[in-house]
Every structure is written in structure tokens, then in C-alpha cells.
Amino acid sequence: MKLLVGLGNPGSAYARHRHNVGFMALDRIAERHELGPWRKRFHGLVCDGPIGGRRVSLLKPQTFMNDSGRSVGEAQRYLKIAEGDIYVFHDEIDLAPAKLRVKTGGGNAGHNGLRSISAHIGNEYARVRIGVGHPGSKDLVTHHVLRDFAKADHEWLEPMLDAIADAAGRLAAGDEARFLTDVARALQAEEKGDRAKRKPAPSEPEGKTAPPPVATPAGEGQVKRMSALAENLKKWLRGRS
């Protein structure tokens, strides 16, 4: 059994923040695989069910980001899940937008949610790192992650969430490499489809013009009416001379 954890802050005010992309990923996975309903457990929201024929539990801690480890620790102990069977979805400012990586262990790069989880369960769990880009200055990081995704971001964000949800069965099977491959292929297909939609219609070759419109023959009734009008016009002109 695998435990998939999404990181974020609870409440509608934070729902579209970059920092909440972990929640967004789990919501899309639950929707795509018809898991649910969400229930209050382990200081969080939990739902479970099969993905790709394997049972998984999804957890969204409701303790706020800085205390995420308390929720994850409770779930791990109760469900008796090994540290290596936990996947944590989170925002990653050191990756460009639309980039995705998976790594096990290592540093937490200043991410308070990861730091809290490591303090409660250890460090050898897998991180699913969803790139949200860096604002360019360390002083702007907090403002950057605690703001809504820009409208332009949704051009890559929505396809990525869909691709993550579609490939979630690979994580349920513990196949991280195939998970990344499936997501990459789905995004490449999406990009090619967008390019095809934006491709302009072919123009006429240089030096050629469109043929003139072909006149439609007038009907018999129309010809008679035109002849009568012409005859009346002649009579009127003779009367004026």
C-alpha cells in the first residue's frame, strides 16, 4: 500500500496558491480515479481506493504547511506504511514551471512542509517535486508561493495535473521512472496538439489570385420582369423627348 500526500494550506483563501499545488495534484488524482469521499482523519483529509489495481491512501494535512509532519506521522503509524512507500507532492521553486521530478531523501531546500515531515517520520520518503519557478530573489519567495497561479500558468498547470493523475498508477506500483515517462509523454502530446491548433491556414501561392465568382443564371420569371421594366423605361423616355 502507498500513501500519497499533498502539501498545502487549508481554506479557500489558499486554494489557488502555488504553495497548494500538492493539494491540487491529489484532488485531480482522486477525481480521475473516482476515489472518495474525503474524510477527516489524522489531522487531515483522507480518501482511499484502488489505482491501477493497487490500494492507495491519499492525505491532505489540514495542520497548515509548517506542521504537515504531525498529520503524515499519524497516518503512517496507524496504516503501518513504510517510509519508502510515502510520496509527497509539493511545490518546488528550484524547478521551472511545468517541470516535474521525483527524488527520495536528500535535503528539503528550505521547504517548511518537507522539513516538518522529515522531523516526524525520517527523511527517506519520496518527493514529487512540481516546478512553480523562482521569483528571482530570495526576498520574494514567500510572496511568490503564497500567491495564486497567474492566468497564463494554467496553460501548463492543468495539463500537468491531468498527466499526473493519469500516471498515478505507476506510483501505486512503485515505478517512479515510468511515472515520469508517462507524464512527459502526455505533456509532449498536449504541446503538439496545441501547436497544431494554432497553425495558420495555408495562404494562396504568390502570384495567384482567387477565381472570380461565377454568375448564377437568372430564372425565366426574373428575365420576363427585367424585360418589362426595360420596355416601360423606353416608353417613359420617348414621352419625355
Closest Cα partner for 21 from 103, 95, 109, 120? 95
- 19 catalytic per annotation: yes
Beta bridge partners of 167: none
Catalytic residue among 17, 19, 33, 111: 19
**What is the sign of the dihedral through the CA atoms of 50, 55, 60 and 62?**
positive
CB 18 within 8 A of CB 145: yes
* Residues with active-site annotation: 19
